[in-house]
């Protein structure tokens, strides 16, 4: 049996240059690529010599069958996911099936859409004395969330939140966030298709964002970014890292 692994590769959030060098090499060398066609920018596959399968119309069994068949022939197989496969990538269920078939695999990380959205907003997700924790989550919908991870419960931390897969339920998201304790004037931004050529940014606060997003007709493929770090003119951030009066392991404080 072949011993070369199947590679789960993160394609990044949209911009085809935001794939890792290793991920790009694996795509170029692949004999079989199964990609998430509803989310991955198809331009990233330009020039690939592989046989290419779009998984948007496939179920788990079909995906595994395609990858397994190519792997048994000694082919280099890539399962291409959007963003970073570790975040809402549905890779664990695929790995479990490959384990049953005794097929080796490796994961190549990618740039998550949360990072893409932060870059689009020129935002730092952690700021001294403002937010030191990032919560990545989603609003409960057809797929439930664990009982202790309801959005209103997570909102009690009052920190930076990056909310995936939820823009179509934005009014409910706002209700849950305010019920959890965020003030109505808390900054919030919705970034549609972060890093794509068609990227769109809507800024507001919890009191205004739902109407703004509705007017723009945004219902999917958008990141909801919540927290004080997304404030603009009113935000003042000063770290100790470059403070001349603060000593650390590589610099002594200046006393002048």
Chain length of the chain = 256
Do 14 and 36 share a structural domain? yes
Asked if 223 and 162 count as a contact pair (C-beta separation under 8 A), the reply is yes
Do 64 and 159 share a structural domain? no
| pLDDT for res 1 | 76
* H or E element at residue 70: helix 60-72
pTM for the full predicted model: 0.90
What distances in angstroms separate CA 169 from CA 74, 138, 187, 213, one per listed residue? Answer: 45, 10, 18, 11
> What's CA 253's distance to the chain center, in Å?
39
Half-sphere exposure of 225 (CA within 13 A, CB side): 29
Do 83 and 159 share a structural domain? no
> What's CA 66's distance to the chain center, in Å?
26
> What's CA 144's distance to the chain center, in Å?
19
| pLDDT for res 215 | 97
User: Which residue has tokens 């790009």?
Assistant: 24
pLDDT digits (tens, 9 = 90+) for 56-103: 999 999 999 999 999 999 999 999 999 999 999 999 999 999 999 999
* Domain enclosing residue 38, as ranges: 6-111
Pairing of strands 222-226, 187-192: antiparallel
| pLDDT for res 237 | 61
Identify which of 112, 128, 131, 110 has the alpha carbon closest to the alpha carbon of residue 120: 112
Calculated CA dihedral for residues 29, 20, 161, 214, nearest 10 degrees: -70
Residue 236: inside a domain? no
Query: Where residue 144 falls among pLDDT bands split at 50, 70, 90?
Result: very high
CATH number (domain holding residue 153): 3.30.950.10
* H or E element at residue 179: helix 170-180
| DSSP structure class, residue 74 | T
CATH number (domain holding residue 32): 3.40.1010.10
Residue 249: inside a domain? no
Query: Where residue 224 falls among pLDDT bands split at 50, 70, 90?
Result: very high
Do 26 and 96 share a structural domain? yes
pLDDT digits (tens, 9 = 90+) for 191-208: 999 999 999 999 999 999
Q: How many domains does the chain have?
A: 2
| pLDDT for res 244 | 64
Pairing of strands 222-226, 160-164: antiparallel
What are the backbone dihedrals phi and psi of residue 47, each rounded to the nearest 5 degrees, phi first?
A: 90, -5
List Cβ neighbours of 181 (8 Å cut-off, separation of 6 or more). 155, 156, 158
């Amino acid at each position: 049996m072949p011993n070369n692994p199947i590679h789960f590769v993160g394609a990044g959030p949209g911009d085809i240059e935001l794939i890792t060098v290793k991920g790009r090499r694996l795509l170029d060398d692949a004999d079989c690529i199964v990609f998430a066609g509803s989310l991955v920018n198809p331009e990233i596959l330009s020039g690939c010599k592989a046989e290419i399968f779009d998984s948007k119309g496939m179920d788990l069994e079909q995906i595994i069958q395609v990858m397994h068949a190519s792997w048994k022939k000694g082919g280099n197989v890539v399962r291409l996911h959007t963003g970073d496969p570790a975040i809402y990538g549905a890779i664990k269920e695929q790995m479990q099936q490959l384990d049953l078939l005794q097929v080796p695999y490796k994961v190549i990380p990618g740039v998550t859409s949360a990072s893409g959205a932060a870059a689009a907003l020129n935002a730092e997700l952690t700021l001294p004395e403002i937010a030191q924790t990032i919560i990545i989550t989603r609003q409960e919908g057809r797929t439930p969330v664990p009982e202790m991870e309801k959005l209103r419960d997570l909102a009690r931390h009052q920190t930076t939140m990056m909310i995936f897969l939820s823009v179509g339920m934005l009014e409910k998201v706002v209700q849950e966030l305010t019920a959890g304790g965020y003030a109505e004037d808390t900054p919030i931004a919705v970034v549609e298709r972060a890093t794509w050529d068609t990227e769109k940014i809507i800024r507001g606060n919890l009191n205004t964002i739902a109407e703004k997003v509705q007017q723009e007709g945004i219902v999917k493929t958008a990141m909801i970014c919540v927290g004080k770090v997304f404030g603009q003119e009113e935000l003042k951030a000063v770290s100790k890292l470059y403070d001349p009066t603060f000593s650390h392991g590589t610099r002594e404080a200046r006393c002048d």
